[in-house]
Structure 1
Amino acid sequence: MKFSLSWLKRHLETDATLEQISTTLSAIGLEVEGIEDRGAALAPFRIAHVIEAVQHPDADKLRVCQVDIADGTIRTIVCGAPNARTGMKTVLGLPGAVVPANGMVLKVGKIRGVESQGMMCSSRELGLGDEHDGIIDLPADAPVGQPYASWAGLDDPVIEISVTPNRGDALSVRGVARDLAAAGLGTLKPFAPAPVQAAYPSPLAWSVDDLAGCPWVLGRAVRGVKNGPSPKWLQDKLVSIGLRPINALVDVTNWFTYDLGRPLHVFDVAKVKGDTLVIRRGREGESYLALNGKEISVTRDDLVIADDGGVESLAGIMGGEHSGSDLGTTEVFIECALFDPVQIALSGRRHELRSDARQRFERGVDQALPPAALEAATALIIELCGGEASEITAAGAEPQWQRTAHLRFERIAGLGGSSITPDEAVEGLERLGFSVASRDEAGVTVNVPSWRNDVAGGQGGLAQSPELAPERAAKAAEGCAAIEPECDLLEEVLRLRGLDAVPPVSLPVPSPVPQSSLTARQTRTSLARRVLAARGMLDCVSFGFLDDKTAALFGDTPASLRLENPIAADLNQMRPTPLASIALAAARNIARGYPDVALAEIGGAYRDITPAGQLTVAAGLRTGFTPRHWSEPARAVDAMDAKGDALAVLASLGVPTAALSVAAEAPGFYHPGRSGVIKQGPKTVLATFGELHPTLRGQLDLPGPAVAFEVFLDLVADPKKRKKAVPDLPAFQPLKRDFAFLVDATVPAENLVRAARGAERALITDVALFDRYAGERLPEGKVSLALEVTLQPRDASLTDAEIEAVGAKIVAAVTKATGATLRG
């Protein structure tokens, strides 16, 4: 929203400076986005009289001018402009002035041997246009010596403010002036246009078929008008805010759009077919040529203004070329209507049309203003174009916009944190146009003015029109009654003192320990992703679907998980596991010369269409070779790498690894002899791991070794459901003992670890397998498994005899459970 300072003062009686006005606007919520003050840059330039202009003695295209600016000194100016001549009046810049167009600082200098004491300027040099063929040629009555900006009306700063969507009233100069007056920066001038005497019946009438979209419309004709350019004062005001003057009739409608926030439209009566303008819904196949030169095809959802020939305007948004006024217009019909904000917004968005009228109607305009605005527009048209006015014709009725709002005084301090007194609060509301309906010690009830559609749950006044459908009106009335608009009034009271004066008060803290911002599932996902990244795996993000043939290699592919409208033919099935997606990604990497990859993805696995059948899985895959340690040569990946990845994820999620067991029950796409599942308890499978089946590798073009794992994050118990144990912090040093057992190669190492751990639970805190040997000096079919056992004393340091006794229990337990024997 833009307006000039002088425009603002047409409505506001004030002595405030530009700085005070801009500061106050931002403080009361109308944030100033910029101020353009052309007068400040042009201040050093004055109106000058060229007393004499003669040819330069040493240059054919230069003239030596004697110039007067009424300060008692005649200055010599060397000028190359072809229109420089004796007796003309122009604009002179003295030494020290800065040329706005290029930033050059004027200095005294010699040009071809003649001293020049300033510069006479063109329009381009002053930043006032593109004209640069000669210096500015002013009228003969221009006052010599006066600042040019002041004489030309260029010392009028233009202020641009940001208006929030709820403040439709602030999209008018009068609305801004009202807020400034309420904030104590002056007095709002009265607006009460005198009625214009009707001289003849209106040649056009209104008919409204859709009272929900347009509850009230007024119109009036003016005949005998002589259209032409608008006067300089009006053109200057429009140009200052970036509008292009068109002609007097159109400029008047633009003036009131910004001045009062009241969009108007004018029809050329001679171009309207028939004697009735109808506000109705658009019809299939209808279109019209809009004022922006585009052909608009309206729909049944659009509100239009039509005559007997068809659509003439998209109501409340943009008029049409056919019935628009031009220099040949002699009788004009003024439209002044109220439109439903929602319908205007939807139509404007549908057709991608932006206009000043749409901007105001979709935010809600003053619902009581149309009669006064129509009188003011009629008077201005007659003043500028002559003619006489007809009677006013109308359709519909003024909406029942009247409503009240209540404010409890204790909420000013309790909710707003301000020390504003009740009397100050009420006086501020009254200055904004609210009137007191009733007041007591506890609070005040006020009548909301017609221009404040944002207060007390207002619906632009249209939802409560008596012409609307009864159910809609009842629902709107019930909603307005149910919403207590106390915060609306509190906001008005606070902003008049200044939003910067509202004290910052912290919200009460319900607990010294803040609540977690992530759910347990989000936390598990984040931890798993970090652990896998730390183990050198690249995080992948892929589609949750792939082709059904590939999906079938990794599990069931029920028809219920088939996409009816896939984005591609090879993406038609919800995947049974993320492992399928990263296996395809690994194959593409290998095909492009990157055989050693480590990929991971945390995503959805889909078993059926129920919520329980949609799992969150952390899956990973390694191919090729990987270094076991920086000091060791690379080796082919094996199933134990995948098992380590899976266990690392489970450990990061707080799953006690001592309670886990491994079983050879992996799905069919794993190698049957080099894979397994990790269980918690007898039934819950938390993870699978192992080498991929050789047949599967061949089908996916994975030539080298490939190992994978899946961790089912949904099956990991939430931290709240797991009992938190008291930290175990013994006072004595732990000690470790190693045991090597000779055992059948078919016996799982897990059995030895579990047996050793259960031999003496009071002392044994950890058992780890650290070596496996098979080969020379061992009987055929036997392997050597070495265990490291950690003993943790509780009450006293262990004696040698106690340590030997524990060792004997470990050997006995392992032998009994697995048939293993202790190696000598």
Structure 2
Amino acid sequence: MKFTLSWLKEHLDTDASLSEIVDAMTMAGLEVEEVIDPAAALSAFTVGHVLAAEKHPDADKLKVCRVATKDGEQQIVCGAPNAREGLYVAFAPLGTYIPGADFSLDKKPRKIRGIESFGMMCSADELDLGEDSDGIIELPKAEVGAPIADVLGLNDPVIDFEVTPNRPDWLGVRGIARDLAAAGIGTLKPDTIEPVQATIDNAQSVLIEAPDACPAFVGRVVRGLKNGPSPKWLQDKLKAIGLRPISALVDITNFMTIDRARPLHVYDLAKVEGSIIVRMGEDETFEALDDKTYTATADDVVIADERGILGLGGIVGGESSGVSDETADILIECAVFDPLTIRRSAKRLGVNSDAKYRFERGIDTGFMRDGMEMATRLVLDLCGGDASTVDVAGAIPAEPEPVTFDPARVEQLLGFTPGDDEILRILDTLGFKKTGSDVPWPFAVPTWRRDVTMQADLVEEVARIAGFDQLPATSLPAMPGRREPTATLTQTRTRLARRALALRGLSETVSWSFVLDTHADAFGGGDAALYLDNPISSDLNVMRPSALIHLLLSGQKATDRGYPGAALFELGPVYRGTEPGDQSLTLAGIRRVEPGRDWAGADAITALSAKADALAALDAMGANTDNLQLSKPTGDYWHPGRSGRLQMGPKNILADFGELHPRVLKALGIDGRVVAFEVWPESLPAPRNKAKGKKSASKSKGALALSDLMPVHRDFAFIVPDTLAAGDLVRAAKGADKALISDVSLFDIYTGKGIEDGHKSLAIDVTLSPRDETLTDSQIETISAKIVKAAEKLGAQLRG
């Protein structure tokens, strides 16, 4: 919604500045998006008067002008063909930014063919005021040094703000002025609408066959008018807010829409046959005024005559009955339509008009007769003609139910009160009239505020106008006793996991839970039940089976824009079906195999990098990562032989990791190689209780136990079947003696000469950490024998 400051002041008597008005609108709940002040952009340009214009001695097409400016007489070299003595021009001094040409004048005089020029005389194109660039602007006679914005009438700021759905009265300038008057920013001017005396009878009959969709239709005929261009004042109003003037009749309807939030429609009576009928559609097609063709069904309310559709009621008129310069007789429509019907029809047909925008929110039913009188007066003043009587088909909706209001509730609900007198002033200015003296006070609700239905609504109005900034900040009283944290165990765990991943250099993202269907198919999703009935975009039409999809696309986009080596993660839901158990929480991450350039060398990114990320997340969430089992993932989007799965037992899967399959990357348009992980936080078991009836064990780690004795390292090499995972061997060796073995790590894998087919050699480094005394050789040998025995249980043999 846009309006100009001068338009607002036609309804509001105020001396407030533009910034004060904008601040008052914001505090009253009108969300101002932008203030467009053309005078500010032209503030550096002033009126100059050309005192003399002589031919440049060294250039045929240049003139040397002597110009009277706000800085005194200046010499300006100009190439405009219309530069001449006596002309009033738009003068730009040295250093001025020229918006239309997008450059700034030098701060020092510039020599043009040997003669200095002390500024510039501008064309309309150079000032962004039009496309005329053949000559400089010829201003009317004005005071030298006056701002050209004042001379050209461009000193009227435009305010653009967002309207909430419950406030259709804000879609008219008068409604905005009313709220500002209540906020104390000025006084609302009286609304004097005098009825137009009828001079002819209204012979045009209107029949309503769909009263639920159109309760009332107020009509009036005007004959013998002359349509044509609207006057300059009306054209300027519409142009200032971005509307294109068309003709006097059409411009009047647009003016009423913006000024009073009262959409109207005008029919050329010469193109109407018989009675006008308001009914539901019958699968009829018609040409609309927006040059599109629409089909009206039984769900759409239409305005028709005996031949067919004249337009969609409350949405868009039809071409067949549109007015033109030849129009002499018209019918003015001032109707009310059911908001839900309008909204459904407009959404189905994809129509968006100013009328639809207002009717779907609900218009002021109490302004139907006055709106007709106001529109008729404008038609007679601008186009002439004779007006008929006003006829009403149907019944104008009744006024809203009154609301009782106890002023004491203001302080009870808000914590402060502006006082009874101020409460009455606010509500009275907003249109709520007190109809009795008893407490609670009875109030009549105005027809433009049907959203007010209870006492709390009036309290909200008082708070809104008195100022939400006046609400006292009062802390809630402390509750006695100890209270448990509000975060759930999963929320606490995932917060720690996100920190751990961030410390490993991964950046967190937040993306849609919807993906493209072909991308979902690549990750084993795309079930028919997961398609969206009304997707927000054609490439986001199905629920995602994996959070890796958007991470991969984001990483590729970063590479395309010159930022390789993306490392990203996300916490969010994934979907495998529509049942409650089919949604699960995942913590997913990727690393593109694009190591950065570094003089010290960069670590290679492999599937083990993704494993380390997954283990870091699980460790942060409290998992015992030393005892996790390693297996192969079942998802076919993982690369075989370069991926793995971490689990607790045969069924409790905690994470998948590894390199993604090239086929999947190709399906998503991803270049190169990518390693990734998916962690399932909800699969991690809750901490065990200490004992029955006791609180759960602490989530903190035990005390750090360090030994003063040197650790002992022993290396072992085992020949194992190819099918044996190295992690199983490491886990078995570590469990051989939990008291003394502090760490086991794999340092070599060998296949080839000396190793029979189907087998491999795994070499591990075992760290023994004595606690009380230095280990003897016999103790070390005993532990070594335990390690060998544990490995043999897996089918491993000590390599000779």
TM-score range, shorter chain: 0.5 to 0.7
Aligned mates of 1:125, 1:518 — CA distance in 2 = 62
- 1:170 paired with 2:167, answer no
- CA distance in 2 between counterparts of 1:811 and 1:64 reads 103
Alignment counterpart, residue 496 of structure 1, candidates 449, 465, 473: 465
Task: Give the corresponding residue for 1:717.
Answer: 684
Deviation at 1:219, TM superposition (A): 0.5
User: Is 1:654–2:613 an aligned residue pair?
Assistant: no
Residue of structure 2 in register with 1:356 after alignment = 354
Per the TM alignment, residue 162 of structure 1 is displaced from its structure 2 partner at its CA by: 0.4
State the alpha-carbon separation in 1 of the partners of residues 743 and 78 from structure 2: 102
Alignment partners' CA distance in 1, 2:113 and 2:765: 104
Per-residue deviation, 1:398: 2.1
Amino acid at match of 2:226: K
- Deviation, 1:752, is 11
Amino acid at match of 2:160: I
- Cα distance, 1:564–1:37 mapped onto 2, change above 3 Å: closer
TM-aligned CA distance change 1:371 to 1:733, over 3 Å: same
CA contact (8 A) 1:528 1:618 kept: no
Partner of 1:341: 339
1:239 positional shift:
3.0
Letter matched to residue 35 of structure 1? I
- Could you say which residue in structure 1 is the equivalent of 2:553? none
Partner residue, 2:663 = none
Residues 478-497 of structure 1 aligned to structure 2 (within 5 Å): 486=456, 488-497=457-466
Instruction: Find the partner of 2:447 among 440, 450, 463.
Output: 450
Say if 2:733 and 2:744, in contact at 8 Å, map to a contact too: no
- Quote the Cα distance in structure 1 between the aligned partners of 2:22 and 2:547: 59
Find the residue that maps to 1:322 and give its secondary structure.
helix
* SS of alignment partner, residue 25 of structure 2: helix
Once structures 1 and 2 are overlaid, which stretch shifts more, 8-17 or 96-105? 96-105
**Is the counterpart of residue 197 in structure 1 residue 166 in structure 2?**
no
Correspondence for 2:36: 35
Q: Where does residue 253 of structure 2 map in the other structure?
A: 253
Unaligned runs of 5+ in 2: 507-515, 533-542, 549-566, 592-599, 659-674, 690-696
Helix, strand or coil at the partner of 2:365: coil
1:83/1:401 CA distance change after superposition, 3 Å: same
What's 2:277 paired with?
Answer: 278
CA distance in 2 between partners of 1:546 and 1:651 (Å): 30
Q: CA deviation at 1:677?
A: 9.8
For each residue in 1:87-107, what CA deviation from the matched residue of structure 2 results, as whole angstroms up to 9, or x when unmatched?
Answer: xx9745679698986687999
Please give the residue correspondences for 1:169-568 in structure 2 after superposition, counting only pairs within 5 Å. Answer: 169-274=169-274, 276-288=275-287, 290-404=288-402, 420-436=418-434, 446-456=443-453, 486=456, 488-498=457-467, 515=487, 519=491, 545=521
In structure 2, distance between residues paired with 1:682 and 1:286: 64
**TM-score for both structures, normalised by structure 2:** 0.65
State yes or no: 1:14 paired with 2:11. no
Q: CA-to-partner distance for each residue in 1:264-303, whole Å, 9 max, x for gaps?
A: 11111111111x2122222224222x22333333344332
Structure-2 separation of matches of 1:27 and 1:259: 22
Instruction: Give the number of the structure whose alpha-carbon radius of gyration is greater.
Output: 1
- Quickly say closer, same or farther: Cα 1:408–1:150, change in 2 above 3 A: same
The question of whether the paired residues in 2 share the 8 Å contact of 1:312 and 1:319 is answered with: yes
Cα gap change, 1:83 to 1:333, in 2 (>3 Å): farther
Equivalent-residue separation in structure 2 for 1:685 and 1:211 (angstroms): 62
Q: For residues 622-771 of structure 1, what are the structure 2 equivalents within 5 Å?
A: 654-656=622-624, 713=680, 716-720=683-687, 723=697, 724=699, 727-730=702-705, 733=708, 736=711, 764=740, 766=742, 768=744
| Structure 1 residues without counterparts, runs of 5 or longer | 457-483, 535-540, 552-556, 566-573, 580-597, 623-630, 691-707
CA distance in structure 2 between the partners assigned to 1:642 and 1:40 by the alignment: 55
Aligned mates of 2:612, 2:83 — CA distance in 1: 91
The 8 Å contact of residues 497 and 618 in structure 2, kept in 1 or not, is answered as no
Range with bigger deviation, 729-738 or 154-163: 729-738
CA contact under 8 A between 1:95 and 1:107: conserved in structure 2? no
Structure 2 letter corresponding to 1:256: M
Which deviations, in whole Å up to 9, do the C-alpha atoms of 1:751-802 show, x marking residues without a partner?
998699587x7x5574748799999xx9x99x99999575675xxx4598xx
Equivalent-residue separation in structure 2 for 1:329 and 1:192 (angstroms): 30
Rate the CA distance shift 1:716–1:520 in 2: closer, same or farther, 3 A: farther
Summarize deviations over 1:690-739 as a string: whole Å, max 9, x none: 9xxxxxxxxxxxxxxxxx99999478433445745872445864675678
The 8 Å contact of residues 90 and 139 in structure 2, kept in 1 or not, is answered as no
Q: Report SS of the residue matched to 1:313.
A: strand
Cα 1:263–1:619 change in 2 (3 A) is: closer
Name the CA shift for 1:437/1:507 in 2 (closer, same or farther; >3 Å).
farther
Contact 1:265 1:334 in 2 (8 A): yes
Deviation digits for residues 647-675 of structure 1 (CA, Å, limit 9, x no counterpart): 888656534366667999999xx9xxxx9
SS of corresponding position for 1:286: strand
Structure 1 residue aligned with 2:662: none
What corresponds to 1:160 in structure 2?
159
Amino acid at match of 1:238: L
Shift of 1:430: 1.9
1:92/1:769 Cα in 2 relative to 1: closer, same or farther (>3 Å)?
A: closer
Percent identity reads 36
Q: Structure 1 305/519 Cα, relative in aligned 2: closer, same or farther at 3 Å?
A: same
Higher mean alpha-carbon deviation, 107-116 vs 718-727, is at: 107-116
Aligned residue number for residue 5 of structure 2: 5
Task: Name which of structure 1's ranges 408-417 and 657-666 shifts more when overlaid on structure 2.
Answer: 657-666
Structure 1 residue 220: Cα displacement: 0.6
Distance in 2, matches of 1:686 and 1:109, equals 74
Q: CA deviation at 1:336?
A: 0.3
Letter paired with 2:224: G
- Amino acid in structure 2 at the alignment position of 1:338: V
Q: 1:110 to 1:17 in 2, by over 3 A?
A: same
Letter in 2 for 1:654: G
Q: What is the aligned length?
A: 703
Show the counterpart of 1:459.
none
Distance in 1, matches of 2:319 and 2:648, equals 78
Answer whether contact 2:174 2:259 (CA < 8 A) is retained. yes
Farther-moved stretch of structure 1 (237-246 vs 499-508):
499-508
Which residue of 2 is the match for residue 585 of structure 1?
none
Structure 1: how far apart are the matches of 2:24 and 2:290?
37
CA distance, structure 2, for counterparts of residue 576 and residue 37 of structure 1:
51
Aligned match of 1:465: none
What CA distance in whole angstroms lies between the structure 2 residues aligned with 1:748 and 1:644? 17
Give distance in 2, aligned partners of 1:151 and 1:609.
64
For the residue of structure 2 that corresponds to 1:230, the secondary structure is coil
Q: Deviation at 1:562?
A: 13
Change (3 A) 1:402 1:532: same
Measured in 2, the distance between the counterparts of 1:246 and 1:214 equals 28
- Deviation, 1:263, is 1.0
Q: Say if 1:753 and 1:769, in contact at 8 Å, map to a contact too.
A: no
| C-alpha displacement of 1:361 | 1.9
- The root-mean-square deviation of aligned C-alpha atoms, in Å, is 6.9
In the TM superposition, what whole-angstrom CA distance separates every residue of 1:287-339 from its partner, at most 9, and x where no partner exists?
22x22333333344332211112111122222223212222222111000112
The structure-2 alpha-carbon separation of the partners of 1:33 and 1:679, relative to structure 1 and needing over 3 Å to count, comes to closer
